[in-house]
Amino acid sequence: MLKISVLLPVYNCPTYVGAAIESILNQTFEDFELLIIDDGSTDDTPQVLTSYSDSRIRHIRHENRGLAGTLNVGIELALGKYIARQDQDDLSLPERLEKQLAYMEQHSDCALLGTWAQIMEGERLVERYHKHPINPAELSYRLLLNNPFVHSSVMIRKSVLEKAGGYSTDPARQPPEDYELWSRLARQARVANLPEVHLHYREVPNSMSRQGPSPFRSRLIKICSENLSAASGVDSSDPDLVAIAALTHGAPDMISKMPDFRRVGEILQTCAKTSFGGSVPAEIASDIEARKAALRGCWVVQRGPLTKWIANPGPLRNFLKTVHRILFRRQTS
């Protein structure tokens, strides 16, 4: 059986996609197929794609259906035991597939494996990184609230992916198609990150992952609420649980009354116990207290009576927004 199928969905990216293709063809591990799926490009992208004729490449083209639908086509056609993702504007470093395959073969309970990534600003590699947690239990906990994986870096066990039903194409649930899928996968099996940089992640304004409706905050909050519910046993519509998700993702207007922050802490504590199998590490317990305090601060400044008492709350609001961004947004360093 073929070991790896690399899925590369493409839409209108003639400038960068050639380098993305070459980064896969130059891997130290060679037993893979590269499925290049053109999602109805309308510029010179098809000419760039067909200029590559390596025997490991399979070219597919269809009318535009979006990222999630295109990835599901690739999953259905893939012959590999593992599915590896590659974005059209990112670069995989040469040992990426080799290192990920070795880990997955040694850890049969792992469904999803990401890597760290270094950020590129256009053509320039900069000293900023996506270095998400690597411990499976911590990842399980962090995933309840946000996305600790770089989509273009992941390798997924195909059998688990098929069991989960692939990426959701429900407009009410995507984007974020990656966070939505990771959340479901993590309820079935272990997830992990390699503590090594194996991807150059390019920040560009018009990448395929950024096409479509934006912002998608309401969907993010919905998925976050479902995650917290699954881990805590509290209903996903519970006001205090929804408050955690809404305040975490900067939407205090979704909350009609002041949350019970004592109960907020209890919900987070229960979620952590579920992720860690009962005993919550000291650093996670400290994180819970910091989160609870930050959530309370966001509420007080943006929705509480403090907004009426302070004539000019702008500077304080900006300060707390900065704290919020540090605590809850996707972390880079």
| Integer Cα distance of 184 and 186 in angstroms | 5
Same domain for 267 and 132? no
Indicate if 96 and 169 belong to the same structural domain.
yes
Same domain, 13 and 76: yes
Residues 176 and 236 in one domain: no
pLDDT for res 308: 47
Domain end call among 210, 231, 261: 210
Looking at the fold, whether 157 and 286 belong to one and the same domain comes out as no
**Domain assignment present for 333:** no
201 shares its domain with 236:
no
Neighbour-count burial of 190, counting CB atoms closer than 10 A to its CB (0-12 exposed, 13-18 middle, 19+ buried): middle
Q: What is the pLDDT of residue 300?
A: 81
**Residue 55 burial (CB < 10 Å; 0-12/13-18/19+)?**
exposed
Q: What is the pLDDT of residue 250?
A: 86
Structure tokens at 23: 């980064």
Q: Is 303 within a domain?
A: yes
Position 320 scores a pLDDT of 62
Whether residue 198 sits in one domain with residue 236: no
Write the CATH number for 81.
3.90.550.10
Question: End-to-end distance of the chain based on CA atoms, in angstroms?
Answer: 39
Residues 37 and 159 in one domain: yes
Q: Are residues 23 and 159 in the same domain?
A: yes
**Is residue 159 located within the same domain as residue 231?**
no
Domain shared by 186 and 255, yes or no: no
Residue 11 lies in a domain: yes
| Three-class SS of the chain | CCCEEEEEEECCCCCCHHHHHHHHHCCCCCCEEEEEEECCCCCCHHHHHHCCCCCCEEEEECCCCCHHHHHHHHHHHCCCCEEEECCCCCEECCCHHHHHHHHHHHCCCEEEEEEEEEEEECCEEEEEEECCCCCHHHHHHHHCCCCCCCHHHCEEEHHHHHHHCCCCCCCCCCCCHHHHHHHHHHCCCEEEEEEEEEEEEEECCCCHHHCCCCCCHHHHHHHHHHHHHHHHCCCCCCHHHHHHHHHHCCCHHHCCCCCCHHHHHHHHHHHHHHHHCCCCCHHHHHHHHHHHHHHHHHHHHHCCCHHHHCCCCHHHHHHHHHHHHHHHCCCCC
Per-residue pLDDT of the chain (333 residues; tens, 9 = 90+): 899 999 999 999 999 999 999 999 999 999 999 999 999 999 999 999 999 999 999 999 999 999 999 999 999 999 999 999 999 999 999 999 999 999 999 999 999 999 999 999 989 999 999 999 999 999 999 999 999 999 999 999 999 999 999 999 999 898 999 999 999 999 989 999 999 999 999 997 655 444 444 467 999 999 999 999 999 999 999 999 999 999 999 888 888 889 999 999 999 999 999 999 999 999 999 999 999 999 998 888 766 554 444 445 565 566 666 666 666 554 444
The answer to the question of residue 91 being in a domain is yes
Q: What pLDDT score does 143 carry?
A: 97
pLDDT of residue 301: 77
Structural domain of 33: 4-210
Q: Which of 210, 231, 249 is the last residue of a domain?
A: 210
pLDDT at site 232: 97
Number of domains making up the chain: 2
Domain assignment present for residue 139? The answer is yes
